[in-house]
Amino acid sequence: MSSRPNILFMIADDHRWDAIGGMGDPTVKTPTLDSLMARGTTCRQTHIMGSLVGAVCVPSRAAVLTSANLFRSGMQQINRDLAVWPQVMREAGYNTFATGKWHNDKETFTNSFADGAKIFFGGMSSHLDVPVFDYDADGTYPNDAKYSGEKFSTELFADAAVQFLQDYDAEEPFFLYLAFTSPHDPRTPPAEYAAMYPPEDIPVPENFLPEHPFDNGEMRIRDEVLAPFPRTPEIVQQHIADYYGMITHMDAEIGRVLQTLEATGHLDNTIIIYTADHGLAVGQHGLLGKQNLYNHSIHVPSIFAGPGIPEGTTVDALTYLYDVFPTVCDLTDVACPDTTEGCSLVPLMRGNVEQVRATVFAAYRDIQRTIRDGRWKLIRYYVSEETGDGTNCIQLFDLEQDPWETTNLADLPEHADRIRSLAADMEMWQIETDDFLKGTPVLP
């Protein structure tokens, strides 16, 4: 067995940060993730930097792979000037293996992974008919080599991970990249998991609205037309019930992977990471999708467990999803490339520092920007007469008193200085990230 720890990185699709029992949700059942939280460190304030396209998963995964900001990392085509996390691990002596969703370019995949199975090059599909490839060392992946997976997507990808672990007997450490397509729609949980969540028993979110209060510039994208307008409590309850069924099924399959990790003798020497590419509204604020900058969409789960990671620890400092790359480099003594922009979270985990950044910034297309500190959050909307109803406004939320983001305080005179300060911070982020909206006034 290698003296260096193995890595098991698991990333879900559409899993909102708080849709985990251990995060305080009393309805969703996630015993595996709850136990992972208990034996590791949970970062409770992990964000993505948003997206410049409706398919938020694409740039979010590019940021994970490069630890670079939204405007630099590339999207489906990874920026060739940047180091790529699994490739860095491979070059450092890790045996890299991937299964599941890869929504970025095939060249980067080929450079990053020495092996793989049940590889899905795409964004979404039926969970019962996923078009997958076997690993192709040449990286060509011809269309006639594609075939349909024979199981529900979550089981299909978990099977591949389990098989890899059962077969693994190499001396070098492994880097296992397991990317689920769950709980992304079509939300069709297996019957036994659907039965766990009668829709009438699902609490309606505190920030439920029949419709969003104004045109945010993205009101009729694909995600938003999955349910009729106006939303009703019953429709939202059904969507959440299906969502929770998908999550609980995925939790069970993650449990099977972790059981295999233990049975094969790798558990004690493996760093386990669970996260997601973005969250999802699922009825909050009158929205269903992730094409917005509310917390339910840009706030993701972030759980670390394994050697070198404190147990039963919570980190409340502001972090980014793209901090994973430098964090793992720190934990494995792999040199972190100077192209990365993220921060190692190890000092936070061990209590050596209180924060790694004072604010986080996020963007959606050219129509929304946000900035938040530990308590206050500003969202700026740039919706022109051509793209919407002329909305050109800001929202200010006190996340300490109003975590559901229901009360906009922007028009209250006592918050004018705070808004100006947050706007100045946003302008600094825009300059630092080379946001193409830099120079556009933040305040209307």
> CATH number for the domain including 204?
3.40.720.10
Report how many domains make up the chain: 2
At residue 431, the pLDDT reads: 98
- 393 and 284 in a common domain: no
Name the percent of the chain lying above pLDDT 70: 98
Q: What is the DSSP string of 278-294?
A: ----TTBTT--SS-S-S
Decide if pLDDT at 14 tops 90: yes
At residue 224, the pLDDT reads: 96
At residue 75, the pLDDT reads: 85
- 370 and 265 in a common domain: no
Smallest Cα–Cα separation from 226: which of 217, 218, 235, 234? Answer: 235
Distance CA 443, CA 426 (A): 10
Query: Which bin fits 165, alpha (ψ -120 to 50), beta or left (φ > 0)?
Result: alpha
> What band does 41 get if pLDDT is binned at 50, 70 and 90?
very high
pLDDT 10s digits, 164-191: 999 999 999 999 999 999 999 999 999 9
At residue 165, the pLDDT reads: 98
- 265 and 135 in a common domain: yes
Decide if pLDDT at 339 tops 60: yes
Note whether 98 and 86 are within 8 A (CB).
yes
Decide if pLDDT at 46 tops 60: yes
The answer to the question of residue 393 being in a domain is yes
At residue 442, the pLDDT reads: 93
Distance CA 349, CA 362 (A): 24
At residue 150, the pLDDT reads: 87
Note whether 227 and 10 are within 8 A (CB).
no
- 125 and 203 in a common domain: yes
Percentage helix, strand, coil for the chain under 3-state DSSP, each rounded to 5: 30, 20, 50
At residue 388, the pLDDT reads: 45
CATH of the domain at 403: 3.30.1120.10
Q: Domain containing 252: what range?
A: 6-349
pLDDT 10s digits, 205-242: 999 999 999 999 999 999 999 999 999 999 999 999 99
- Structural tokens at position 236: 């939202």
Which residues neighbour 249 within 8 Å (Cβ) at sequence distance 6 or greater? Answer: 152, 154, 182, 189, 190, 193
| Residue range 250-254: mean pLDDT, rounded | 98
The answer to the question of residue 354 being in a domain is no
Query: What per-residue string of b and e applies to 75-88 under the rule 16 or more CB within 10 Å gives b?
Result: beebbeebbbbbbb
The answer to the question of residue 439 being in a domain is no
| Residue range 85-89: mean pLDDT, rounded | 98
| Residue range 300-314: mean pLDDT, rounded | 97
